[in-house]
Structure 1
Amino acid sequence: MKIGIFFGGPSREREISFAGGRTVYDNLDKSLFQAVPIFVDSLGNFILLDWQYIYKGTIRDFYPPVAALPASEHKLQVYLESLGELSVAEQDQIISQVGRRVLPQELGLLMDFAFLALHGPGGEDGAIQGLLEWYGIPYSGSGILPSAFGIDKIAQKKLLKALGRPTPDFRVITAAEWDVADPEATLGYLVRELGLPLVFKAPRQGSSIGVSILREQDVAKFEAAIERSLFRKTMIREEWQGLGQQGQLAWLQQLTDIREGIGLPVQLTVISDQLTDENSTLDTQNSTLLYHPEALLNKLNELFQTVEAVRLTNVDGETQVLVESFVAGREFSCIVVEDPNGEPLALPPTEIVKGEELFDYRSKYLPGLSRKVTPIDLPEAEIQRIREACQEMFTTFGFQVYARLDGFLGKDNQLFLNDPNTTSGMLPASFFFHQAAEIGLNPSQFLTYLIRTSLAARRRAGMRPVKLASLLQQLDEAVASRQHEEKQRTKVAVIMGGYSSERHISVESGRNIYEKLSSSVKYEPLPVFLTGSAQEHKLYLLPINVMLKDNADDIREKIEYAEAGHDLHPILQRIRREAEPITSTYAGQPTAQPRRILFEELAELVDEVFIALHGRPGEDGALQRQLEQYGLPYNGSGVVSSSVTINKFETNKRLREAGLRVAEHRMANRLEWEADAESFYRSLETQFPYPFIAKPADDGCSSAVKKIKNRAELEAFCHLMFRDQEDLETTAANTLHLGFKEEFPRKDAFLVETLIERDGAQHFLEITGGLLTHWRPDGTYDVEVFEASEALATGEVLSLEEKFLAGEGQNITPARYAADVQERQRISEEVKHELRRVAEVLNIQGYARIDAFVRVRETGAVEVIIIEVNSLPGMTPATCIFHQTALNGYTPYDFIDRILEFGKERTSRLQLETKS
């Protein structure tokens, strides 16, 4: 069956939609379905996307293509709408570089079924559903009316009030009312009516976009909250000029971010009088429409020579603000699905334990920033009360197939439901898959069930009953046949987790590998979690519901819970019984609890191993040595090479001895610091003028990599790195501007390096390059080096989010070494030559990622300065190694398959050598 996956779209949630569409594309069962990727751009064009672009980290990394971008002094990445008003021919030219335009009437020729991974306006509001209904194409999720209702928070509130259902009190402020209102009087009214705190929402957005909480009766903060929900921003000349050039650029980037800011294009309107004047008015005759961030930057600099203030309004902003009274209580989210009889079945509700007061975009999608506790820690009767309320809302609103319902349990035990979503986020560990895993469905199986249920829902509603009956019969027969094939696949243990600061990213990588393999016809993956210590590696076989917990700490907690002898939560037993009509067909019997296994048992259970660990343990050779003892093939480099590349100091030393360029470096030891801190600081300052780089010598993922600019930051770095306690010292953390929950490991030494800078080069960029090795018949191997990606850091160094979080990192693949195509390729070949030399010097096997800086001199000379080598690079869905392999024709699955086959061949060769 051909499944058209619709993703991207015009909404502010397009990056999460893009990442979710990729998840669906990868997890569709390849024996049942053929995926057809339909990327929807921000102007609403349907594009049959060339498959390699699906694996870009963000939409802006490939669309609009680099060739279509206007010149940009600051190299700012933009969406299509920033190119201004485009003719159909101009749009077609842009589209042709990434795929081909598909007209609506063509959709039915390309697909049997449409899976909607779109979010927000244009995706969840009934619009796309209506289009597909017009052309008779069955689609996933709810129909037109419930979708339209599900996106309108104000309409939902009115219905809940009319039905007498508990919902926080609310008021609505229109943009027109706000424009003539007295802010102080309006705030006073809202506080009297609703109390404090107040919650402000953009009524047609998701992912907590446009949401604020006001905790005090502060007029300035109140105005900012209203502006945030209307997607407006007021800027005063004094504030603008006080930012300085770098501050203005950072402000601009934040403002034009579609998730955190107001986005583009904007209408810029001059405020004619000073803001302190109560009679200040908008000069509507002095308005400008601006599409590109640099045009906005230039316009602001020009205007603030003469005017006092301006207002920026996104052209697609909201016209109303929903203001709610704050509910103090426990926040939860619950997925409700239709069972095979069309009745609602609520999955186990998840409690959202936030580190900050607002469960914002970043907290929702970056592992480790918030916790998802499933089921919510309540007595069974209370959880059942939540489930029944969610099932009732599902029915009341007329939802179909599935929905995500959010709510609060107040301090007085009152239950509030709000913000139902007819399309849930579909990242690998989202609520959508997270809760389905609790009844034993992996993502591939859950997607199959939802497609089947959606076909049945469309047929019940009267869409092409004969044709859909035939599709349902075909799918049911194929599912039954697929169950028989399960036992014939190659078993692969996917080892993830660990106990380092990279454990959360390791889990993300492991899950991605698991999902790529589980949807294949060749492999049957088994998720295995590694914990313990350097002295003893403990392995645990994970059931799917534990593997899809939010992060490594949650998984470890579930393991400890099981080892303490706790039984499965009774509500889970109940829900699994209720879900048996689903799981008996689509999943078989789920494992109830994680189980400790020894390496001997692992060798009996699986044919080979994929190590998805990062840093120590995993990349240091210790685990590889244990696997070799049991004859288990594994991915990546061998014991000796791994033990070298984990040590950045030793890696640099060997590369320098081989004639490759690396930064000046040295180790800084705790004993030296403890003996005489002042002498220690002066020694570093003498050898490395500020600013320089300090980082752990045996961790990756940008964990604790800092640009040290002065003595205070050096002292803070040392105090944190050499601390005895687990918790971070607040003063030192603030000095280094550590983010919320930012990991900072404890070590007895760290690496100090000179800061690599432009040094007068004509062109200077940071790159990350991947490679893959292939066996030759004579027992040696070739190194295939991919086109490197240009990594764009918004801060001083590439952050964890930029490397691994979908929609965050900015990577251009291939790297932009030069504008001229032939010159770019010449430089690229030189860079690849240097990366190949690195692999040969360090005896890299399987695959790797090498980070470097590239300088291109006016003479054309190319200098490649190696930063670090990762022998088990991150394999999260958004990591740029998949962008690179795609250019060489490898899908992520193909790439993983090649890696596993290389490891299997290596083990066979070693065994033959041993016998001979």
Structure 2
Amino acid sequence: MMKVGIIFGGPSREREISFAGGRTVYDNLDKSLFEAVPVFVDSLGNFILLDWQFIYKGTIRDFYPPVEALPESEHGLQIYMESLGELSIEEQDRIIAKAGKRLQPNEFKKHFDFAFLALHGPYGEDGSIQGLLEWYHIPYSGSGILPSAIGIDKAVQKELLKQNGFPTPDYRIIKYGEWSDKQNRRQIFESLVTDLSLPLVLKAPHQGSSIGVSIIKENDFDAFEAGVERSFFTKTIYKSQWLAIGEEKQLMSMKQLVDIREGIGMPVVLEDGQVIYHPEALFNHINHTFSTTATDSITLTNVEHEQQILVEAFIQGKEFSCIVVQDELGEPIALPPTEIVKGSEVFDYRSKYLPGLSRKITPINLPTEQIQSIRKNCSKLFKDFGFNVYARLDGFITESGEIFLNDPNTTSGMLPSSFFFHQAAEIGLNPSQFLTYIIRTSLAERLKTGKDTVRLTRLLQQLDKKIKDEQAHRQEKIRVGVIMGGYSSERHISVESGRNIYEKLSSSVKYEPLPIFLTGSNEAHRLYTIPVNIMLKDNADDIKEKVLYFEQGGKPHPVLAQIIEEAAGITRKYTGRSLQEPQRISYDQLKNLVDVVFIALHGRPGEDGALQAELEKLYIPYNGSGIRSSQITINKYETNEILAKHGVPVAKHAMAMKEDWLQDKEAFYQNIEAAFPYPFIAKPADDGCSSAVKKIKNRKELEAFTTLMFREMEELDTECARTLSLGFKEEFPNKAGFLIETLISRNGAKHFLEITGGLLTRYSPDGTVDYEVFEASEALAEGEVLSLEEKFLAGEGQNITPARYAQDPERRQKISDKVKEDLRRVAQILNIEGYARIDAFVRVLENDEVETIIIEVNSLPGMTPATCIFHQTAINGYKPYDFIDRILSYGIERTRMKAEI
């Protein structure tokens, strides 16, 4: 079996997306064809054969550098490896040993036959790693050295675009040396406005993921100066502003400043040449300087700042992204270009990687001739720039039809929601199959270099044989219907969970997944089998729109039909089948299509027992708890009531009902205020995923929350939304009642933390249910409650697993065992089955007595790639696929036992 070294992480500012992309590749490589070998690159450029458990951490900083290597940080500021200062090789080796084993490049061949590059930005996309691998005779994915070097440098690309006859917006370069002389700055701005007109687009030329990009719309020198500093990764802090904001906001400002995506990162160099490595030292330096000297500003510059930045004229038009792939003859095929409909001016990091914040429309909404014109231009650029295997080309098309291509990338983000998989699905390739295509095509491309031809030919022949064999045995797998979507405010996260389950199963040797989309209402569920291209649409609403389009007799877009025909050779080789249209099915038909169901829904329906009841009628096995247990845990109020009766600590709670509010609003508010002093928590009783969970601090916020929750219209009152600081596109459900709980606080405890703990069940030999409770994760919220991003977006938030109950390992374990026992008891009281996630607060008192206060129980917890349940299962030796396999096996066994009764 071919060993594939997945190289991910790296020194660049995009390392978190690379880390999450590496995990996607690790999980999605076809297990019947490849053995995945994780090779993590730290920010100093060390190659580490990573212990696989660490792949399932939420962010790099959750495990590296390890806790033992971290210096004291009074304010708990998180760091990457580069903030530890100048380390000797011995010191680095001690740190590396905690995460895995150091790999020298000359050892690569011992560990893997092929390198899959999931690195981004400098060192990963610029030809550096490609050159290193060629030196050591390791075939690798994607483009070779020269096209990679071109693909990383936006300034060089501009010249090449011009030379090859591609229209490109007019541009200028600002050199760092010129900018450093502050006398020049206003003149630079004025000449740019004269030459290029407003708006101006500022870009850091060697970064991706929209890092260091700003758009200057107004004739505003201050905004321009701030934007240029952002692109150079330099920042001036002014004394008057710093002292005016107070310590709490200074700390928030510091976290943003040292963030590698939004800020300038660390280490930084001061104007006198002094280098500061740790954010805590920087924080102290700023405060000390401003309190002891007359200095009115401090300028900080990242040690790896850009030497020049690109300033472009703004293009008004539709923005698109197009993946180009090679067929087996080496000819480019442009996949359907995707239109990016942004929520903000810039398609920024959050918009790119959090589902639901932007929309991807494929193909772009244009006449067929214009779509084909975009594809033709993209294919030409792919050839002219000498790209190989695949590339991602971005651009704009103006109202007059002029096409501007910019930022050609030799690699692409590899999160499940990325263009990379989204467009490949349009020719019928699921993520596992697309990765196989890339490896096979890359091998063939490396063969063309004339190096190592005998070995590469053998690898290619062996892979082709295995691909054929796998297709021959597809019918022998267990068929799993993965039900996703729904109609609650959690539908987008449900789709993310469902896709993740589908992808883990589609790369397995045991299961054949079938994606099923559920929509409709509580009164009537509507089920549809959906093809992979519809499953990988941007979010649940996009999927629903497509499903209804085909149900009403819609036909595939003519461009898609043509691309499917052009790519038929690729699709046939890797899937053995053609793309199907969505089909409405009944529960009876579902029984004939699948052997078992994985419910990937959250909230209602799915977690409320209704779907379970339909499946049990037909003896279709499913994951998770049974009907009655689901009916209880969906309702946080009822869960609280039952647990309280059994003596389990829960927050003081009450339901606030719409009918009481309509009857007498003032009495409604006064009754709540009399029972629950501010601040308290208000939330829906039957929604999860942090949906509308708010800390209510005063009457104005209570009125706003109530008005939104009990509104008659679908639209949100803008004043109420502003009062509650609702985020962009933050959904707010409409209910007949909501839950109020006391705010759980430290209450004199020595240690106080919020945790989330997962569990798994199995049958013991006597047929009783055994509970395996995992080490809980400690959840750290940036704001007042854990946000959607912190729970589900790769690289956001921080979950520390296992939770830090105490510094001493023995005491920590003792406390952990008590918490796990408390969670087990909750699961037994509620008759939880399969798996679940229980959220709680833990108070550790002076005598190490432990109090576990339950917040909520999720019978179908989120299963997105970044969710912390996978960090917990990894500690117990389960990769995500193993965990999912156990969940399904339990469901199958439960149904078999019921059928025998």
* TM-score bracket for this pair, using the shorter chain length: over 0.9
* Separation in 1, partners of 2:79, 2:753: 19
* 1:626 alignment partner, one of 598, 611, 614: 614
Distance in 2 separating the partners of 1:73 and 1:904: 51
- Equivalent residue in structure 2 for 1:543, among 524, 531, 544: 531
| One-letter identity of the residue aligned with 2:327 | D
Q: Of residues 555, 558, 564 in structure 2, which corresponds to 1:570?
A: 558
Q: Summarize the alignment of residues 428-439 of structure 1 with structure 2, pairs less than 5 Å apart.
A: 428-439=416-427
Match of 1:800 among 788, 792, 797: 788
Contact kept? 1:543, 1:590, Cα under 8 Å: no
CA distance in structure 2 between the aligned counterparts of 1:798 and 1:533, rounded to whole angstroms: 29
Q: Does 1:82 align with 2:77?
A: no
Q: Which runs of 4+ in 1 moved over 4 A?
A: none
* 126-135 vs 161-170, greater mean Cα deviation: 161-170
Q: Any idea what SS the aligned residue of 1:234 has? A: strand
Tell me the residue number matched to 2:214.
212
Asked whether the 8 Å contact 2:484–2:601 carries over to 1, the reply is yes
1:853-901 C-alpha deviation (Å, 9 max, x unpaired): 1111112111111100000000001100000001011111110000001
Structure 1 counterpart of 2:191? 189
Match of residue 230 from structure 1: 232
| SS of equivalent residue, structure 2 residue 270 | strand
Aligned residue for 1:662, secondary structure, equals: coil
2-structure distance, mates of 1:96, 1:185: 53
State the distance in 1 between where 2:135 and 2:746 align. Answer: 57
Residue 100 of structure 1 pairs with residue 101 of structure 2: yes
CA contact (8 A) 1:544 1:590 kept: no
CA distance in 2: counterparts of 1:862 and 1:69, whole angstroms: 27
Question: After superposition, what is the alpha-carbon deviation per residue over 1:92-150, rounded to whole angstroms, capped at 9, x for unaligned?
Answer: 11111111000110011111100000000010000000000000000000000100010
Q: How does 1:320-399 map to 2 (within 5 A)?
A: 320-399=308-387
Does the Cα contact within 8 Å between 1:568 and 1:592 map onto a contact in 2? Answer: no
What is the SS of the residue equivalent to 1:661?
A: coil
Asked whether the 8 Å contact 1:646–1:698 carries over to 2, the reply is yes
Match of 1:729 in 2: 717
State the match for 2:502 in structure 1.
514
* Count of equivalent residues: 897
1:403-418 equivalences in 2 (<5 Å): 403-418=391-406
Q: Deviations over 1:303-325 (max 9, x none)?
A: 11122110111111111110000
Partner of 1:697: 685
8 Å CA contact retained: 1:125, 1:149: yes
Deviations 1:233-281 (A, max 9, x none): 1111111011111101111111111111111111133xxxxxxxxxxxx
Following the alignment from structure 1 to structure 2, what is the Cα–Cα distance between the partners of residues 153 and 769? 45
Segment of structure 1 superposing worse, 582-591 or 248-257: 582-591
Give the match for residue 248 of structure 1. 250
What amino acid is aligned across from residue 316 of structure 1 in structure 2? E
Q: Distance in 2 between matches of 1:163 and 1:146?
A: 15
TM-score of the aligned structures, taking structure 2 as reference length: 0.99
Structure 1: distance between partners of 2:103 and 2:642: 53
| Amino acid aligned to 2:231 | S
Determine if contact 2:164/2:384 at 8 Å carries over to the other structure.
no
2:289 is matched with 303
Match of 2:436 in 1: 448
C-alpha RMSD of the superposition: 0.9
- 2:8 maps to what in 1? 7
% of aligned pairs identical?
68
Gaps of 5+ in 2: none
1:585-734 alignment, distance < 5 Å: 585-734=573-722
Shift of 1:745: 0.8
Q: Distance in 2 between matches of 1:729 and 1:264?
A: 41
Specify the SS of the correspondent of 1:74.
coil
Matched, 1:556 2:551: no
Distance 1:78 1:387 in 2: 43
- How far is 1:589 from its partner? 2.5
Cross-structure match for 1:745: 733
The Cα of 1:186 is off from its aligned counterpart by 1.7
Residue identity opposite 1:22 in structure 2: R
Separation (CA, whole Å) in 2 of partners of 1:382 and 1:112: 42
Residue 728 of structure 1: CA displacement? 1.2
Matched residue type, 2:577: Q
Structure 1: distance between partners of 2:723 and 2:88: 50
For residues 62-77 of structure 1, the aligned pairs below 5 Å read 62-77=63-78
3-state DSSP class of the match of 2:473?
helix
Question: Does the 8 Å CA contact 2:323/2:390 hold for their aligned counterparts?
Answer: yes
How many angstroms apart in 1 are the aligned matches of 2:822 and 2:610? 28
CA contact (8 A) 2:572 2:578 kept: no
3-state secondary structure, aligned to 1:583 = helix
Q: Which residue pairs with 2:887 in the alignment?
A: 899
CA contact (8 A) 1:114 1:140 kept: yes
Deviation at 1:780, TM superposition (A): 0.9
Deviation at 1:51, TM superposition (A): 0.7
Which deviates the most, 182-191 or 841-850?
A: 182-191
**Paired amino acid for 1:197:** P
| Conserved? CA contact 1:336–1:403, under 8 Å | yes
Query: Which AA in structure 1 matches 2:150?
Result: F
CA distance in structure 1 between the partners assigned to 2:711 and 2:377 by the alignment: 49
Give 1:277's aligned residue: none
TM-superposed deviation, 1:182: 3.0
Amino acid at match of 2:276: L
Q: Deviations over 1:806-835 (max 9, x none)?
A: 111201100011110100001001100100
CA contact (8 A) 2:325 2:335 kept: yes
Quote the residue 1:426 is aligned against.
414
> How far apart are 1:675 and its partner, in Å?
1.4
Paired residue secondary structure (1:210): coil
Partner secondary structure for residue 806 of structure 1? coil
Match runs of 1:164-175 below 5 Å: 164-175=165-176
1:550-573 Cα deviation digits (max 9, x unpaired)? 111110110111122111111111
- Specify the alignment match of 1:281 in structure 2: none
Letter aligned with residue 449 of structure 1:
Y
- Check whether the contact 2:10–2:123 (CA below 8 A) recurs between aligned residues: yes
Deviations 1:440-481 (A, max 9, x none): 000111111110100010010122111101111000111111
Q: For 1:623 and 1:768, how far apart are their aligned partners in 2?
A: 26
Q: Is the 8 A contact 1:138 1:463 kept in 2?
A: no
What CA distance in whole angstroms lies between the structure 1 residues aligned with 2:265 and 2:536?
33
- Equivalent residue number for residue 140 of structure 2: 139
TM-score after normalising by structure 1: 0.97
Structure 1 residue 342: Cα displacement:
0.5
Given that residues 120 and 411 in structure 2 are in contact (C-alpha distance below 8 angstroms), is that contact kept between their aligned partners in structure 1?
Answer: yes
Contact (CA 8 Å) 2:178, 2:184: kept in 1 or not? no
- Shift, 1:76, TM fit: 2.3
In 1, are the aligned partners of 2:235 and 2:301 still within 8 Å (CA)?
yes
> Which segment is superposed worse, 166-175 or 292-301?
292-301
Task: Tell me, yes or no, if structure 1 residue 50 matches structure 2 residue 36.
Answer: no
Q: Partner of 1:263 in structure 2?
A: 265
Pick which of 150-159 and 711-720 moved more: 711-720
Match of 2:513 in 1: 525
